Amino acid sequence: MSTTTTDRLRDTELSYRATLAGGALSVFLLIALLGLAFPGSIWGNFLTILTSRSTLSSALRLSVPITFAALGGIFSEKAGVVNIGLEGLLIISAFTAVITTAVVGPEMTVLGLPAIWIGFFAGILSSVLFSALFAVVCIRFKADQIIAGLAVWLIALGLAPFAATVYYGGVNTDNLGTTLGTWTIPVLSDIPFFGAFFDADPAVYMMLVAVPASWYVLNRTAFGRHVRASGENPKALDTVGVDVSRVRYAGVLLSGFLAGIGGSALSLGLGQFVGNNQTMVNGKGFIAIVAYLFGNYNPIGAFGASFLFAGLEAAQIRLQQVPGYAIPDSLIQTIPYVTVLVILALVGRTRIPEAAGEHYDTGDDNR
């Protein structure tokens, strides 16, 4: 890649980040100005809700499944495999985590490990197995990745409620009576507003570690360079002796691992799997795809987008609890989606890896 091209891409990236930050800041400032100017209005209440610690706590918790699925989607698509089955991976891991905990016994321990954590790891394992099946179909048998991803979603959407019906007699599981709980860091948790970061679900701490770790792996390690090359120029990667298929398998399995954490955390944070309609996952896997496109395949940007959506979701839930508004709840519920779409439109075009979605035959014929 020439220096001129590299400089142009760097300038584009900087411009993108500036636009992203400017768009988010503009929205917040607009709400703040309206809230300060009209404190008794819906905007005043909205500003109060946005700046409350409970909203921050809810936003962090709601960010977890979206962020982990988005991180998984980045690794898969950076490696060259478009994985739109993230929604299905969240569903299957959420259900498996709960059913495993229930079968073991919520109050039991096995080799010193509480049942709920056994369920947590079982949920991750189920997601990895589903992603392995997806990888074989797409990489070994060269199936259409979009169709295969939709198949993963539809299978999980049907399988989890069906299994719940067989075991519990309904699409929803019984409540376990226990959750992952909360980890509180003394002193730091007493900090006003930001103390929510230190008094949170253990999955929130995992998320805060996983985001910078994913950025580091992608940008500072040999494996990350292989993943990026597999999605940009697999022939060049093959030429230097790296097995492209192996890298792509690793990317897809990693997407299953990360999405599995998100799904397990989602259901075990509540202590129940809800299988009605689109299940309790309810589109979070597809929102994760928007998040990493919004973040331009940068783990930190994807987390920012996930947190933005989750923050708006948390705010609209609390806003519905404020009496005295004639605005229909269904309209308030659209606030996160509309805001994200507007900002996404302001941000502009995302640069997709050049070889994403394309099959590659490793071997002498391609050299």
Cβ–Cβ under 8 Å, residues 80 and 355: yes
Query: What confidence category does residue 96 fall into, taking pLDDT thresholds of 50, 70 and 90?
Result: very high
Residues 6 or more apart in contact with residue 289 via CB below 8 angstroms: 70, 73, 84, 86
Amino acid (one-letter) located at 367: R
pLDDT above 70 coverage of the chain, percent: 85
Burial class (CB in 10 A: 0-12, 13-18, 19+), 223: middle
Distance CA 74, CA 326 (A): 41
Secondary structure (H, E, C), 132-199: HHHHHHHHHCCCCHHHHHHHHHHHHHHHHHHHHHHHHCCCCCCCCCCCCCCEECCCHHHCCCHHHHHE
Cα distance between residue 335 and residue 320, in whole Å = 12
Q: Is the distance from CB of 343 to CB of 27 less than 8 angstroms?
A: yes
The per-residue pLDDT for 147 is 95
Q: Provide the pLDDT for residue 366.
A: 45
d(CA 50, CA 66) in angstroms, rounded, equals 20
Cα separations in angstroms, 302 against 20, 152, 364: 11, 23, 37
Can you tell me whether residue 333 is helix, strand or coil? coil
Q: Please determine, for residue 4, whether its predicted confidence score (pLDDT) is greater than 60.
A: no
Which amino acid type is present at position 342? V
Element holding 109 (H helix, E strand) = strand 109-110
**Strand, helix or coil for residue 262:** helix
pLDDT by residue (tens digit) across 306-359?
998 898 888 878 777 776 665 666 776 676 677 666 666 665 567 889 989 899
What percentage of the chain reaches a pLDDT higher than 90? Answer: 60
Distance CA 304, CA 138 (A): 30
Is the pLDDT reported for residue 365 higher than 60? no
Q: What is the mean pLDDT of the chain?
A: 87
Q: What is the pLDDT of residues 121-160, one digit of tens each?
A: 999 999 999 999 999 999 999 999 999 999 999 999 999 9
pLDDT tens for each residue of 236-281? 999 999 999 999 999 999 999 999 999 999 999 999 999 998 899 9
Q: Which two tokens stand for residue 193?
A: 């507003």
Chain centre distance of CA 226: 23
Give the torsion through C-alpha atoms of 310, 205, 284, 345, to 10 deg. 50
| Residue 306: φ, ψ to 5° | -65, -45
